[in-house]
Structure 1
Amino acid sequence: MRYQSIDRADDACQRALDAELVEHVCRRAVGADHQVEAITELPWGTYNNAYRVDLRAGPPMVLRIAPERARQYRVEAELMRNEYAVAPYLAGISELVPRIHFADFTHQMIDRDYLLQSFLPGVPAPEAMGQSARPRWASLFHQIGTITRSIHEVAGRAFGPVANARFTSWGAAVVAHFRSVAEDLQDTGHVRDLADEAERLSDVLDEITEPRLLHGDGWTVNFLVDPGSDELTVTGLCDWDRAEWGDPLADWAIQRALLRPGTEREAFWIGYGQPRTVASGIRQEIYRARHLLGLRLDLIRPGRSSGAPTDDEIATNDQEVGEILDRLRST
């Protein structure tokens, strides 16, 4: 069997596994009747380890292995189990999402969750965008809008992560998220104050009474496209492990689409089926802070592939969060 891994820092969230252990995990996942010919670690993503698994007979598959629980932030706990729970709710876009063939959360073999999925064709959209004329990007954003709308049309019964939707109100779910992030950051300032402000303003958040399915990370990096397509045709959607039931305005796809008006991103709103509106008000301020804190967690993640963050990156993030906090306090 051929095995190829990626060298990572010892403290990396994506901790490498040795060839023998990965092969052992693969054999449990694919079954004794299938012979594994090659296992190749994929460079995509920053959280789970992902491996392409080539079998002697049959199509390639993807083995994804979550970090050990001790390496997960509180707000990211058991994301792979959340992803597993979300899969049935993506029936409307089933042709674009990988099928889960096997999942093992027992920790009998390794102290990490893992699952085996079908291998989707295509390359990450940013890779194809870099080789495509900019006017062609509009087609991609149009497709992302259409897919995002399909996801948002799925309604739930409670708020919060799909695998643990335990909140009867959206405000309670958002406040709990902020408090978990504060614990992750060991924060005694802005983040705890944001949680307090969100709680004070929870009546505005609670105007959202119907939980809708949010992908949580549905932007270009998690869309696969056909590299040979002139129009950047979407072939797959990955990594819905941060999916939750909540307010569509809070979804990462909506927040990203609101940026850079007047560019190719405007096509998102045509696909989504509604005009672009300038999102403002209390809820948008809270959601903006929420996503900034998600970026902060990624900045400080041990062993991140892009290297340690600069003091300026941390300071800028903190300043932007502080400015939002000031505006919330003035309401």
Structure 2
Amino acid sequence: MESITKNRQTPATLRAMVERAYGAEQVPTGEPDTWLEELGHGWFNVAYRILLRDGRAVVVKIAPPRGVPVMPAERGAMRIELDALALIAARTDVPVPQVDHADLSHELVDADYFFMPFVDAENFGIITDGLGTERRAAYNEALGAANRELNSIRGSWFGPLAGPGDPSWRVVFTGLVEDVLAAGEARSVDIGRDYDEIRKVVALHADVLDEVIEPRFVEWDLWDSNVMVRDGRIVTIIDHERALYGDPLMEAGFAGTYLSDFGDPTAFMRGYGQEQLTPREQTRRGLYCLHLVVIMAIETVYRGHTTPTQYDWARKQIDTMMRLLTEP
């Protein structure tokens, strides 16, 4: 996926980054195509697979360039991911990447970056269409169980992992919505609806947010494309940069309970241990879906997408969500 947020680096710079992380004796030699490969399926950060001199394969993930505007939830995203990885490793048994080296100094490149071991596994999102129904359901059920374990981590506030936060989920979530709408207005993004219409619909249903009283760790971006699988099991979960303390119903696995375009959530919910949602939980999920598809429309402008596929799809979903949240 192409995006102007991808902070690509030269082989010479990548060699310098390897030396800082692993030592001069591990810096690869030879032509770049013998040791360097860009991993292209990500949408935001750039990631490279690098073969060290001793034969180990590692991945370096690099945040966007300093001068590229990003969406509000993506500001400081790599530091959020590092915090999330440390928290998950300390508090759960959910498999996540090990951080070999993180550099936040901006001395070698104009952004944060970190190295981790390369995981020899398949991306669930890439292979899912080729799987049989039973295997796909088994992976989704395992994902539901893993997601529930992640959500078992309790926070002391709603909002960013590192704080500051707020004791009210309504305050935090409506603030997230306003941040996104303001970002869209700043770039004059046409989302097919007046921005104040979105604000009114969120305000109309905001009382359901008051039912969320315990902050929980929420991945928020745990789609199948962020799950690496092998031999019938989840090997690791990647891309944790949107994590926050919030309502577990924000998780991607629940999106299909309100909007069918996000897929059948049955196996995920079975693994999670929650068969269905109450009407008021459904309304909360509806607000989260609306928030999500508005993000998906606006971010195409910030990322400089060259094809309209995601934008056109998101515009249609905004219309659908507005109808569902306003009609009896």
Q: Which residue of 2 aligns with 1:87?
A: 85
Instruction: Decide whether aligned partners of structure 1 residues 310 and 147 sit closer, same or farther in structure 2, where only a CA change above 3 A counts.
Output: closer
After superposing the two structures, state which structure 1 stretch, 115-124 or 146-155, moved more. Answer: 115-124
Q: CA deviation at 1:119?
A: 1.8
* Alignment CA distance shift 1:241-1:102 (3 Å): same
**d(CA) in 2 for partners of 1:317, 1:260:** 10
- Extract unaligned runs of 5+ from structure 1: 1-5
DSSP 3-state at the match of 1:295 = helix
Q: Under a length normalisation based on structure 2, what TM-score does the superposition of the two structures give?
A: 0.84
% identical aligned pairs: 24
- 1:80 CA drift (Å): 0.5
Is contact 2:70-2:303 (8 Å) kept? no
Name the SS of the counterpart of 1:100 in structure 2: coil
Is the alpha carbon distance of 1:109 and 1:133 closer, same or farther for their aligned partners in structure 2, counting shifts above 3 Å? Answer: same
- Alignment match, 1:178: 177
Separation in 1, partners of 2:132, 2:14: 40
Q: Deviations along 1:243-297, whole A, 9 cap, x unmatched?
A: 1101111222222466559x87422222112223366554223112111122213
What secondary structure is seen at the aligned counterpart in 1 of 2:220?
A: coil
Counterpart in 2 of 1:98?
97
Match of 1:107 in 2: 106
Once the two structures are overlaid, the 10-residue window that deviates more, 238-247 or 289-298, is 289-298
> Which amino acid in the other structure matches residue 253 of structure 2?
A
Match of 2:100, SS? strand
Match of 2:20 in 1: 28
Does residue 74 (structure 1) correspond to residue 75 (structure 2)? The answer is no
Equivalent residue for 2:32? none
Worse-matched range after superposition: 271-280 or 72-81: 271-280
Structure 1 contact 179–191 (Cα < 8 Å) conserved: no
SS of equivalent residue, structure 1 residue 111 = coil
CA distance change for structure 1 residues 33 and 26 in 2, over 3 Å: closer, same or farther?
A: same
Letter aligned with residue 276 of structure 1: Q
Q: Structure 1 stretches (4+) deviating beyond 6 angstroms? A: none
* TM-score scaled by length of structure 1: 0.83
Q: 1:106 to 1:195 in 2, by over 3 A?
A: farther
Aligned to 1:249, what secondary structure does the other structure show? helix
Query: How has the CA–CA distance of structure 1 residues 96 and 289 changed in structure 2, closer, same or farther, with 3 Å as cutoff?
Result: same
SS at match of 2:130: coil
| Alignment-mate amino acid for residue 210 of structure 2 | D
Q: Are the equivalent residues in 2 in contact too, given 1:225–1:234 (CA < 8 A)?
A: yes
Contact 1:159-1:166 within 8 A present in 2 as well: yes
Match of 2:225 among 221, 236, 252: 221
Q: Is the CA contact (8 Å cut-off) linking 2:300 and 2:311 kept in structure 1? A: no
Report if aligned partners of 2:59, 2:116 keep a CA contact under 8 Å in 1: yes
Q: Is the 8 A contact 1:64 1:115 kept in 2?
A: yes
Equivalent position of 1:3 in the other structure: none
**Separation in 2 of the partners of 1:321 and 1:249?**
17
Q: What is the CA–CA distance in structure 1 between the aligned matches of 2:205 and 2:83, rounded to whole Å?
A: 31
Match runs of 1:148-159 below 5 Å: 148-159=147-158
Provide Cα deviations, 1:85-112, integer angstroms capped at 9, x if missing partner: 1122213555621011211122222211
**Paired residues of 1:299 and 1:309 also in contact (CA < 8 A):** no
Report the residue type matching 2:42 in the other structure.
G
Indicate which of 3, 9, 13 corresponds to 1:17. Answer: 9
C-alpha distance 68-325 of structure 1, shift in aligned 2 (>3 A) = farther
Other structure's SS at 1:291 match: helix
Q: How big is the shift at 1:313?
A: 3.5
Give me the whole-angstrom Cα distance separating, in 1, the residues matched to 2:94 and 2:288. Answer: 30
